Amino acid sequence: MIKQILMLALLSSSAHAESPQRILDSLVAQAGPASAARGEKLYRGKFSGGKTADSCTACHTDNAKAVGRHVRTSKAIDPLAPVAQKDRFTDPEKVEKWFRRNCNDVLGRACSPQEKADFTAYMISLK
Amino acid sequence: MNNANAMTWKHLLMLLLAVGGSTLLISQAPANDEANFPMPAGKAYVDECGSCHTAYAPGMLPARAWRKMMAELADHFGEDASLSEPRRMEITQALELLASDGSQATLRMRRINATIPASAAPQRISETGYFRFIHDEVRPSIWKRKQIGTLANCIACHPRANDGRYGEREIRIPQN
């Protein structure tokens, strides 16, 4: 019983919601100052390393505040910008998971901490 | 005479019980058209699998098909969908439990299962006989609509697909 309560406490603390700014801060701590402009370039850039899509915009559209569509499955994707979708960039594990998967899908490699920080700064800058 | 009367009452009572019982059974049973599938408990399945595509009902494929899929997540239809090992195990077990050949399979799930050869481990639900049969009225032009796009996009027309609900009454076909 005590074990279960401890597990629950552990789980709820690991799922603790952060603010997008806090998530950006911890990325900046690993990378150095972030640039929203560089982040936008990454978001709009065309790449050839990935197998799924050639750009972020292929699924998330030119407007990160709009509903996107998965390029393979056509499933609707909630907007990426926190201003349009409140729970974006609030769960550090989720943020890491999607950088891991999507950088691989588009760039064919992991993103650097700098790229992640820039990208997050761009998303937060959208109003 | 008395005997005959007694028999009639007995028969009438049995008839009433039979009719009443059947009525009760029919009213309690989910309507055939509701097409509800059991879904894994908790949020892991919809969170992990449902972000890129519909969180397909486990009962649409047999356990062997799910096991194969969950063993090949690093190349999941060309994409890297790998999971942490605890998550992978958790979801695999949930899928096996509620698969079309599982011990809890509903009549519809067993019917789906019957259209899949025992030697096959299909990775696309849309390639099973049951899927093709049940969607045979859908014109090709409808599948091509932008908001539908692919056979994999169940949730486009079955808005509650992530809850395992595919009932005919809940179908909403996007107009473009």
pLDDT of residue A13: 47
pLDDT in tens, A93-124: 899 989 998 999 999 999 999 999 999 999 99
**CB count, 10 Å around CB of A26?**
15
Q: Is the pLDDT of residue A8 over 60?
A: no
Compute the average pLDDT of residues B85-89: 95
Domain membership of residue A113 as a residue range: 18-125
Would you call A37 helix, strand, or coil by DSSP?
A: helix
Compute the average pLDDT of residues A62-91: 96
Contact (CB<8Å) B79/A51: yes
Question: Could you tell me how many CB contacts below 8 A there are between chain A and chain B?
Answer: 45
Q: Which of residues 54-113 of B touch A (CB under 8 A)?
A: 54, 77-81
Q: Which two tokens stand for residue A118?
A: 């820039």
- For helices A113-125 and A92-107, the axis angle rounded to 10 degrees is 110
A87 part of a folded domain: yes
Domain count, chain A: 1
Contact (CB<8Å) A70/B52: yes
| Dihedral angle sign, alpha carbons of residues B118, B119, B121, B122 | negative
Percent of chain B past pLDDT 70, that is, above it, reads: 92
Compute the average pLDDT of residues B17-35: 72
pLDDT of residue B78: 85
Q: Which two tokens stand for residue A110?
A: 């992991």
A7 part of a folded domain: no
Contact residues on chain A for B154, CB-CB shorter than 8 A = none
Q: How many residues does chain B have?
A: 176
Give the domain CATH number at A38. 1.10.760.10
Give dist(CA A32, CA A36) in Å, integer.
13
pLDDT of residue A18: 86
pLDDT of residue B23: 78
Strand partners, B36: B165
pLDDT in tens, A66-77: 999 999 999 999
Average per-residue pLDDT in chain B? 91
Compute the average pLDDT of residues B123-151: 95
- CA proximity to A21, closest of A112, A90, A74: A90
pLDDT of residue B86: 94
Percent of chain B past pLDDT 90, that is, above it, reads: 73
Compute the average pLDDT of residues A13-35: 86
pLDDT of residue B34: 79
Cα A103–B125–A52 angle (5° rounding)? 15
Least confident of A6-10, A123-127, B62-66, B86-90: A6-10
pLDDT of residue A70: 94
DSSP chain B: -HHHHHHHHHHHHHHHHHHHHHHHHHHHSPPGGG-B----SSSHHHHHHTTTS----GGGS-HHHHHHHHH-GGGBTTB-----HHHHHHHHHHHHHTSTTSTT--HHHHHHHHTS-TT---S-GGGSHHHHHHTTTS-HHHHTSTTT-STT-HHHH-TTGGGTB--GGG------
Compute the average pLDDT of residues A5-11: 54
- Check residues A23 and A1 and name the one with the higher pLDDT: A23
Contact (CB<8Å) B80/A72: no
Percent of chain A past pLDDT 90, that is, above it, reads: 78
Compute the average pLDDT of residues B121-146: 95
Question: Is the complex ipTM higher than 0.95?
Answer: no
Give dist(CA B176, CA B174) in Å, integer.
6
Give dist(CA B138, CA B145) in Å, integer.
12
Q: Is the pLDDT of residue B57 over 90?
A: yes
Q: Is the pLDDT of residue A12 over 70?
A: no
Contact residues on chain A for B146, CB-CB shorter than 8 A = 69
Query: Using an 8 Å Cβ cutoff, are A85 and A79 in contact?
Result: yes
Query: Using an 8 Å Cβ cutoff, are B157 and B28 in contact?
Result: no
Contact (CB<8Å) B153/A51: no
Q: Is the pLDDT of residue A9 over 70?
A: no
